[in-house]
Amino acid sequence: MKKAESIMMAAEAFAENYGKEPLFQPRHGKEMPKRAAVIQFIRDLRQIMFPGYFGEDSMRKIDSEHFATYRINHLYDVLKREVETAIWYMEEGKTKEEVEIEAERICSEFFVELPDVQRILLTDVQAGYDGDPAAKSKEEIIFCYPGLLAIYVYRVAHILYEKKVPLIPRIMTEYVHGRTGIDINPGAEIGEYFFIDHGTGIVIGETTKIGKYVKLYQGVTLGALSTRDGQQLSGVKRHPTIEDHVTIYSNSSVLGGETVIGENTIIGGNTFITRSIPANTKVSAKSPELVIKSPKKHAWDWED
């Protein structure tokens, strides 16, 4: 087959697929939000949330309120455009004007709530410094720790989730999921002084509730027991509740919407928990018996 012939055949088949599939007639020709703009927003927002760490701006030294005003105004415009596009795309039956007013209201509230998020993030930094002997300084945590990056993005996305903005909170958390391997659904509720160490493989489901002073290690799943009812479970609490001062070590799973880990409890590594654990408890999987065999030559040449 020649190039031209192949291209023509493929194009014809694609065109047929496009004609048949409703997902390929995006809603009345409406645009989708721009992923790249949302990601740039969440990256740029760090400059006011952690001033001096991700690009210095001498304006802050002249007048930090002017600095914040200027930056927020720019970020406001970027966010509003995307929020407006997302609502317009996903929510039928609203007029353009209604959508614009709604986006304006959401963004205005969003920025007023941000300084509180900044204060909470400082407690997360403190939690990381207290909890990790490998941390050389608090600056290093802000600057390098993927756990803090994921928490920052989650805390910002959660504001928008609560305001029922479609698509955008998830774009934000999936961006940082891709960057860190930490998947926190923007619907989760997470208290202050939260620390994630290493983090790769962590999953925190949409209806999870987490108290204060909680610490999670890599590979921890806070998940649902079953999703066999699919979309009928939408909105139902199906992920666990973790109370204050709980630590969960690596690769453990805590599952189920009615599962509660009581306060001051430690969950050891590689455990699999599907029912509630009382407060002030230390839980570890009893190590399964080790099977030990004699060796032959060396580790890679060895019979099973």
User: Per CB under 8 A, which region of 39-47, 94-102, 151-159, 295-303 contacts a copy of itself?
Assistant: 295-303
What burial letters (b/e) apply to 208-237, b meaning 16+ CB within 10 Å? bbbbbbbbbbbbbbbbbeeeeeeeebeeeb
User: Residue 79: beta bridge partners?
Assistant: none
The answer to whether 282 contacts a copy of itself (rule: CB under 8 A) is: yes
The answer to whether 156 contacts a copy of itself (rule: CB under 8 A) is: no
User: Per CB under 8 A, which region of 39-47, 94-102, 152-160, 245-253 contacts a copy of itself?
Assistant: 245-253
Residue 151 CB, shortest distance to a copy of itself, in Å, is 15
User: Which residues in the 193-232 window bind a copy of itself by CB under 8 A?
Assistant: 197-198, 200-203, 205-206, 213, 215, 217-219, 221, 223-232
Count of other CB atoms within 10 angstroms of residue 42: 22
User: Which residues in the 101-130 window bind a copy of itself by CB under 8 A?
Assistant: 104-105, 107-109, 111-112, 114-116, 118-119, 122, 125, 129-130
- Return the structure tokens found at 268: 């050891």
Residue closer to a copy of itself, measured from CB, 23 or 97: 23
User: Which residues in the 67-106 window bind a copy of itself by CB under 8 A?
Assistant: 67-70, 72-74, 76-77, 89-90, 104-105
**Are 265 and 242 a contacting pair, CB within 8 Å?**
no
Residue closer to a copy of itself, measured from CB, 98 or 143: 143
User: Which residues in the 1-30 window bind a copy of itself by CB under 8 A?
Assistant: 1-19, 21, 23-26, 29
Q: Is the dihedral of CA 23, 24, 26, 32 positive or negative?
A: positive
Report d(CA 83, CA 99) in Å as an integer: 9
Residue 49 CB, shortest distance to a copy of itself, in Å, is 9
User: Which residues in the 167-186 window bind a copy of itself by CB under 8 A?
Assistant: 167, 170-171, 174, 177-181, 183, 185
Residue 141 CB, shortest distance to a copy of itself, in Å, is 10
The answer to whether 289 contacts a copy of itself (rule: CB under 8 A) is: yes
Q: Give the dihedral of Cα atoms 162, 164, 167, 171; nearest 10 deg.
A: -10
Cβ-defined contacts of 281-288 (< 8 Å, 24+): none
Look at residues 272, 267, 264 and name the one whose alpha carbon lies nearest to residue 284: 267
